[in-house]
Amino acid sequence: MKTAIVWFRRDLRLTDNPALEAALGQFENVVALYIHAPDEEAPWAPGAASRWWLHHSLAALSESLAARGGRLRLERGDSGQVLLQVARQTGAQAVFWNRLYEPALVRRDTAIKQLLTESGLQATSCNGALLFEPWTVKTGGGGPYKVFTPFWRSCQRDLSALVAPRPAPTRLSCTSDGGGIELQALELLPRIRWDVGMSRHWQPGEVGALARLDQFVEAAVLRYDEDRNRPDRPGSSRLSPHLHFGELSPRQALAAASRPDLTGSAGAESFIRELGWREFAHHLLYHFPHTTDAPLDGRFTGLEWQDDPAALAAWQRGRTGFPIVDAGMRELWETGWMHNRVRMIVASLLTKNLFMRWQDGARWFWDTLVDADLAANTLGWQWTAGCGADAAPYYRVFNPVLQAEKFDPERQYLRRWLPELAALPDKWLARPWEAPSEVLGKAGVTLGNQYPLPVVDPRGSRDDALRRFERLTSMSRP
């Protein structure tokens, strides 16, 4: 009986899984294996929210394998050694996996491929995570793109040539040896059970991912162009954590949004474009691996940042005194997710009003987001800070009041997350520090008491930021 290992990593699905399909095409028998090795991802080992998701996603994968006559084997330890050991035990002759593109994992996987090959095993890696491999999208000069629009134009030319998503195998022949450890032994769930409310918001796993995609395509995609900017509406796809863990492939998302009745609609176009941004982020990180910690634009290395632990803590806990920022940070804390429009606003406040390092913000997001993704997180923070690819110009500083009033016109989002301010009239809700004292009194609000005063001068800090960045650009000019 010819046996292969399918090494599951961040491709926790059976549908459109190239590594699984390739293994089943060449071997009669597969061992579905997941190896817990967070040290190998250091310094970007999954954060607490991400581990919660991973726990449930592994449980879901295990269940769907079992339903097809298979079994998920869990192990922990050095990935290379575990693969060799499991291969010995099961008589497997090959290992299949889908590639990942983060710097530490590229290094690890390259070494493992060599180790396996030297040990006489077939090692095959596939593309299951991206629409296009990072090394295939090149400018006319042969280098990687640094601007989104030409990057995406180039990708779009090849979209129609992509193969359609492949169906899940109906039946798996898996070895049924009892090896491996229990899911609980991976200790992915938090000791302090802050996660009890999380399952109200999310269904990790492939079934949940497909349900979410279906719901989005049926109910929201046609309004996506406008509603994706509205934190008060359920206009986001909320597919990011599913895509991150590979419970859904980008090809499946693309195919769903390319249905004949949706093509040409502004909503579907925008959604597909967001898939393009996901590609762009992964490609950039692949080509510029240092950007997780250092600015892509080297001029920003010399920028002096503020060191203010109290302000950072206020930002993290949603106590900055800017309602839209605090609402977002509380949404993040409670649900492990934040609306993208609000992510930009909170990031702008941290980097451009508080002058804190974007890396501090990226770290907090890393630990609290269920969709924490190194490529997307890095791109997003560098974009806001102005030091990344296609970055926002330095004078583009989000005004947290105007943004709230524009994108949350009825203040539903603010009231949902800031119950202590809910009684304030719309006019003052996004800017409570400007409200007359009798209005505050009537609403039962005492600023500086149950709701804070702004941590930074709402008007002056924008000018401070402009001056700082102006100095930066002029200093670097020859």
- Residues in contact with DNA by the rule CB under 7 A: 139-141, 143-151, 153-154, 229, 274, 277, 340-341, 344, 380, 383, 390, 392-393, 395-399, 402-403, 406, 459, 462, 466, 470, 473, 477
The nearer residue to DNA, 4 or 392, going by C-beta atoms, is 392
Which residues are the active-site residues? 274, 277, 305, 340, 358, 381
- Smallest gap from Cβ 55 to DNA, in A, equals 29
Minimum separation from the CB atom of position 146 to DNA (A): 4
Give the Cα separation of 287 and 22 in Å (integer): 27
Query: Which of 48, 272 has the CB closer to DNA?
Result: 272
Give the total residue count for the chain: 478
Cα separation, 174 vs 187, whole angstroms: 26
Q: How far is the CB of 120 from DNA (least distance, A)?
A: 43
> First-to-last CA distance in the chain?
69
The 3-class SS string of 358-375 reads HHHHHHHHHHHCCCCCHH
User: What is the C-alpha separation between 187 and 222, in angstroms, rounded?
Assistant: 41
Closest CB to DNA among 67 and 402? 402
- Residue 29 three-state SS: strand
- Supply the minimum distance, in Å, between the C-beta of residue 143 and DNA: 6
> Is the CB of 276 or the CB of 336 nearer to DNA?
276
Place of tokens 């000019």: 477
| Residues 6 or more apart in contact with residue 377 via CB below 8 angstroms | 362, 365, 366, 369
User: Minimum CB separation from DNA for residue 365, in Å?
Assistant: 14
Residue type, 129: A
Looking at the DSSP assignment, which residues form a beta bridge with residue 75?
Answer: 35
Whether 228 and 340 have beta carbons less than 8 Å apart is answered as: yes
Compute how many other C-beta atoms are within 10 angstroms of the C-beta atom of residue 287: 17
- Contact of 121 with 5, CB cutoff 8 Å: no
Look at residue 414 and give its three-state secondary structure.
Answer: helix
Quote the least distance from Cβ 462 to DNA, whole Å.
Answer: 6
The residue assigned the tokens 């934040």 is 338
Helix (H) or strand (E) holding 315: helix 309-317
Whether 129 and 101 have beta carbons less than 8 Å apart is answered as: yes
